[in-house]
Chains A and B, each alone.
Chain A
Amino acid sequence: MSTLEIKDLKVQVQTEDGPKEILKGVTLTIKDGETHAIMGPNGSGKSTLAYSVAGHPRYEITGGTVTLDGVDVLTMSVDERARAGLFLAMQYPVEVPGVSVSNFLRTAKTAIGGEAPKLRTWVKDVNGALDRMNLDATFSQRSVNEGFSGGEKKRHEIAQLELLDPKVAILDETDSGLDIDALKVVSEGVNRFRERDGKGVLLITHYTRILRYIKPDHVHVFVAGRVAESGGPELAEELEANGYERFLAAVPSGV
């Protein structure tokens, strides 16, 4: 059971010119076992949606609600949200010098599981998850994201998805900057996660390419801080053929 419900979510950020509204009332429900793709042009607010749900302090919620299985998410701290079952695969994961991947993963798993994982099975699980992402065993001794290539960062994010086993995963442009081989590896990882019982996925992307490997149940076109149109996989095909022009034309100027 896992339902992420976003209702009329409004979000602003502080800029030099005062507060700026980015999300202007987003409503979206991701039910049990569903994969939703959010597609949209740059600057439409897709990433803001991802980071707002995860609780990044930069984003100020000015209206609406977000619930996970009926429980208010917005009153939770960032780490409480993760422990409640939310996961955000980031587009630009930051370096944490001196903290090994192995230490980081174990600390995260312990925090989420409420107890330290059994050592023997855990080491096997970690090595397996890294291996499936084409990351060799020495990877776990490196500092988190330090000196990682773009592809390694994304594969590390998906390895975490597999190990931390959240209820709902938000993938923020996980496909960006990946070559085709890395894209396949990452997509396979996401698909393995989807095969588990009752997992929700919110896949944020600029391109249709990843949707050939991860088949969404629903596709939403995101423009100017709102869902402009929702549909099935056919909507992605239309975007692939015609781009975002139709949706951009519908947006009043000055927004």
Chain B
Amino acid sequence: MTVTETAESAVRSALEVDRVESHLNPPASYDLADHPVPTGREEVWRFTPLKRLRGLLDGEASAATLTRETTLPAGVTLSEISADEAVALGELGPNDRPAALAAANAGGALLLDVPAEAVVAEPIVIRLTGESVDDLVWGRLLYRIGAHAEVTIVLVHTGSVRYSALSTFLVGDGAKVNVLSLQDWADDAVHLGRDAIRVGRDAFVKHTSISFGGDLVRMHANVEYAGPGGEAELLGLYFADEGQHLEHRLFADHNAPKTKSHVVYKGALQGKGAHTVWIGNVLIRKIAEGIETYEENRNLVLTDGCQADSVPNLEIETGEIEGAGHASATARFDDEQLFYLRSRGISEKEAQRLVVHGFFNDLIRKVGIPSIEEQLLETVEAELAKNVLKVSADVEGA
């Protein structure tokens, strides 16, 4: 070991940022050399079936795009900016290879600008639709929400594509932001998404990730804080069918005091080879005194042959915290619940339907976007019709 290396490692160990980030989440870097092609043995890749990424890791350049439909309320602008401008605006850099490839290949970035103090009543809806799974699309999006602005942003992903996107939400001080990302892809789509949020001082951000469709969906939701008093609520709902891989990775980086993070993800699985992954990483840095964090993941396994992986990680570097906790549970239908409902005359299938609706209901009510809540309840119903309700319809001929 050379003197230089020793000095360097001494500096590294003094810089907790470097040390702890490498444990829970790879450090951000635009340099592709920092994100080698994974083998599948890496901690952050071990749950993901790499073959089914269908070339997304190779990083081939592509001019294909998603069709975009946007409703923009007055005062809110959407514009194309260069890669350099994105970085200059404070984009949160990529933490893994697909995100770094998206930055490298997207050409420029799309900037959604919500001015300071704008209170936007109607949700901003961005519909992104893929044409074909033969298309490879690199996406780079930046959302700049000014101080004390209040806004709801809904992203709806449909169609077929192989898509990797790097998204950054820069939330100003005191702003209130509600973001929802709906992955309602066709069966063959592949989507790797990284949403990173920088929460301003005393700002509140709700971020909901909902995955129903796609062959393979792997979403990151990362939160960090620009100052004390910021609060993040990270919600998620997923419903994996036969052969689907739905992966959600959370990272709440408490890098400022008096900040809060609250994570609730709920999923259901049905059919052979349905696979869900939930990774909930929380880091409470030395500086982050007086913070509160709670994370919860619940999975309901509806049929045989499914796999739900659920891994909460909590790393605490200060004892001066208000509260930190996590819960993870994966279960089949509760026999006692079903017995209770059936003892009131409710058929087995109807009882199962009630339990699943109940399981998701609380979460759907938290989304806080009425038009979407209705749609989500309907989608859950449609998902159940594929399996749980199928037999009853056959039997009853209803």
A and B associate in one complex = yes
- What per-residue 1/0 map shows which CB atoms of A77-110 lie under 8 Å from chain B? 1110111000110100111111100011001100
Within 8 A of B (CB), among A92-134: 93-99, 103-104, 107-108, 111-112
Known: A111-B344, A111-B345. A96 touches B358 (CB 8 A): yes
Q: A164 touching B334 by the CB < 8 A rule?
A: no
Once A96-B354, A99-B355, A107-B354 are accepted as A-B contacts, the answer to whether A160 and B344 lie under 8 Å apart by CB is yes
Bound-complex Cα distance A98 to B334 (A): 14
User: What is the CA–CA distance of A119 and B336 in the complex, to the nearest angstrom?
Assistant: 30
State whether B339 touches A104 (Cβ < 8 A): no
Question: How many residues on A have C-beta within 8 angstroms of the other chain's C-beta atoms?
Answer: 29
Q: Is the CB of A94 within 8 A of B336?
A: yes
> Across chains A and B, which 5 residue pairs bring their CB atoms closest together, nearest first?
A98-B358, A98-B361, A108-B344, A82-B345, A99-B358
Whether A79 touches B337, Cβ cut-off 8 Å, given contacts A97-B358, A99-B357, A143-B358, is no
Contact A111 B358 (CB under 8 A): no
Question: Would you list 17 pairs from A and B whose C-beta atoms are within 8 A, ordered by A residue?
Answer: A55-B343, A79-B342, A79-B346, A82-B342, A82-B343, A83-B345, A94-B340, A95-B337, A97-B358, A98-B358, A98-B359, A99-B354, A99-B361, A103-B354, A107-B354, A108-B346, A111-B347
- Are B335 and A57 in touch, CB under 8 angstroms? yes
In the complex, chain B residues whose CB is within 8 Å of the CB of A23:
none
B357–A111 contact, CB under 8 A? no
Q: Is the CB of A93 within 8 A of B350?
A: no
Contact A104 B341 (CB under 8 A): yes
Q: Contacts A79-B348, A107-B354 known; A96 to B340 CB distance under 8 Å? A: yes
CB proximity of A142 to chain B, nearest CB, Å: 12
A82 and B340 contacting across the interface, CB-CB below 8 Å:
no
B interface residue numbers (CB < 8 A to A): 334-337, 339-348, 350-351, 354-355, 357-362
Q: How far is the CB of A168 from chain B (nearest CB, A)?
A: 13
Closest B residue to A85 by beta carbon equals: B345
* Cα–Cα, bound, A71→B350 (Å): 25
Q: A88: nearest residue on chain B (CB-CB)?
A: B343
Q: Are A107 and B339 in contact (CB under 8 A)?
A: no
Report A-chain residues with C-beta under 8 Å of the C-beta of B351: 79
Residues of A whose CB lies within 8 Å of any CB of B are 54-57, 77-79, 81-83, 87-88, 90, 93-99, 103-104, 107-108, 111-112, 143, 160, 164
A199 CA / B346 CA spacing, docked (Å)? 22
A50 CB, nearest partner CB in chain B, Å:
10
Whose C-beta in chain A lies nearest to the C-beta of B346?
A111
Q: Cβ of A83: which chain B residues have Cβ within 8 Å of it?
A: 345
Contacts of B335 in A (CB 8 A): 57
User: In the complex, what residue of chain A is closest to B349 when comparing beta carbons?
Assistant: A79
- Which of the residues B336, B344, B358, B361 comes within 8 Å of A112, measured between beta carbons? B344
In the complex the two chains form, what is the Cα distance from A84 to B345 in whole Å? Answer: 9
A175 CB → nearest B CB, Å:
20
A113 vs B362: C-alpha distance in the bound complex, in angstroms?
A: 29
Within the complex, what minimum Cβ distance (angstroms) separates B237 from chain A?
Answer: 12
Distance between Cα atoms of A77 and B334 in the complex (Å): 17
Which residues of A have CB within 8 Å of B358? Answer: 96-99, 143
Residues of B within 8 A of A77 (CB): 342, 348
Residues of A within 8 A of B355 (CB): 96, 99
Interface centre among A54, A98, A103, A143, by most chain B C-beta atoms within 10 angstroms, is A98
For A95, list chain B residues within 8 Å (CB): 337
Q: Return A16 CB to nearest CB of chain B, in Å.
A: 19
Q: Tell me which residues across on chain A come within 8 A of B362, comparing CB atoms.
A: 97-98
Q: Beyond the given A78-B342, A99-B355, could you list 16 further A-B residue pairs with CB under 8 A, ordered by the A residue number?
A: A78-B343, A79-B342, A79-B343, A79-B344, A79-B345, A79-B346, A79-B347, A82-B344, A82-B346, A96-B337, A96-B355, A97-B362, A98-B361, A104-B344, A104-B354, A107-B350
Residues in A with CB closer than 8 Å to B348 are: 77, 79
